[in-house]
Structure 1
């Protein structure tokens, strides 16, 4: 349910039919206590059944109250970082620094960032830089080397390769 559904703390107080779901919890607890072979699978299946039944019971009520916007629990965590990337093109920022800014380890950061934006962090930074470079090529008389430096690429040859990769043409071709 990707965090879109909230269950009441005491479901049976809101919906009496939930009382019969509690037996699933009792069975899961008994499995945990007995620890018979493969007990983890039984516990997991009981919890899946419980959450499925709770979802069926409470989903309809909540679906009418909430907007259809996809839920992403860490979206706010990334807002400041994304604003920083989009406004400070020439700043060098590593994945490790970005992960630290949102208090995550680099692996988890990369996974969540891609889920949120649809791109890896490096791709996102490069797209922002190439979009700004495209604007500068159209609106300024700066040289390609100067524009490369303005968007955070120290090496003009690397900048040209990146620009071609993301925009399908070289910076010189774009300027024409």
Structure 2
């Protein structure tokens, strides 16, 4: 069973241990990381290949050995190339509980008074060693791994502050900030309505734009057309249901916004390279 859940507004891990780990390769239904955002923080490590990452509107390529830090609320996506990567999504507030000594440091991160560097290459030996130990603890889960995870996280943040691996927060340009908020708004609309037969008119209306302007805006922000993004989200959810339920392909197609089974099969094969039936048997 794949560790997949579309909903980005949910509890990560448990209340007492809010850390969520994912190992992702080409067999994972969400191998391609579509544009999304969440209030939690995320750390990504690249094990093999490369991942073209976009944070808000800025893109860069991370390769094996690199570490990526994603701040709370940042729109992000990743396009893999022969890539194996892992993610840890976590609630920063866990480091404020019963620890007044560290609270002042963590509040600077949570309140975005500072912005931790988003890309660490292997030349940051201290950061990479610490983060790799952190990932290995969550991946292999030896006895007492929870202690190791918390310890490595505190060490990570200690290195950040001790070596000034951050920028002083700068105010985002008003136009850019508005565009990002508008994109978040339409992504949220898709997240909650993808199972309905959405039209381009409905998508553009969700952010009060004309269809023509909306298409240009959406493509500039995501490098995808609105309908391509929508269909990709539907196929991702269909993959999850094919992997985790005994429901028929027809039921899954209709549940995810496809009113034509033939069109669903063609679209599925376009994104996954195989038919839904073969995917279900794999």
TM-score normalised by structure 1 residue count: 0.58
RMSD: 2.2
Greater C-alpha radius of gyration: 1
User: Retained in 2: the 8 A contact 1:72–1:116?
Assistant: no
Partner of 1:82: 187
User: Retained in 1: the 8 A contact 2:269–2:276?
Assistant: yes
| Shift in alpha-carbon separation, 1:65–1:129, aligned structure 2, 3 A | closer
Higher percent of residues as helix: 1
Runs of 4+ in 1 over 2 A off after TM superposition: 63-68, 86-89
User: Retained in 1: the 8 A contact 2:189–2:206?
Assistant: no
Quick one: distance in 1 between partners of 2:266 and 2:183? 29
Task: Deviation per CA, 1:60-103: give whole Å up to 9, x if none.
Answer: xxx976389xx464110222221121233211221112112211
Partner of 1:91: 196
How many residues are aligned here?
Answer: 113
Quick one: distance in 1 between partners of 2:210 and 2:249? 36
Quick one: distance in 1 between partners of 2:275 and 2:169? 50
Higher percent of residues as strand: 2
Q: 1:66 and 2:183 equivalent?
A: no
Partner of 2:259: 154
Q: What does 1:114-125 align with in structure 2 at a 5 Å threshold?
A: 114-125=219-230
| Shift in alpha-carbon separation, 1:94–1:76, aligned structure 2, 3 A | same
User: Retained in 2: the 8 A contact 1:89–1:150?
Assistant: no
| Shift in alpha-carbon separation, 1:86–1:65, aligned structure 2, 3 A | closer
Quick one: distance in 2 between partners of 1:154 and 1:99? 22
User: Retained in 1: the 8 A contact 2:215–2:225?
Assistant: yes
Quick one: distance in 2 between partners of 1:141 and 1:109? 38
Task: Deviation per CA, 1:132-170: give whole Å up to 9, x if none.
Answer: 000000001000000000101011111000000011110
Quick one: distance in 2 between partners of 1:87 and 1:168? 27
Q: 1:175 and 2:263 equivalent?
A: no
What stretches of structure 1 of length at least 5 have no aligned partner? 1-62
Quick one: distance in 2 between partners of 1:76 and 1:113? 12
Partner of 1:137: 242
Task: Deviation per CA, 1:26-62: give whole Å up to 9, x if none.
Answer: xxxxxxxxxxxxxxxxxxxxxxxxxxxxxxxxxxxxx
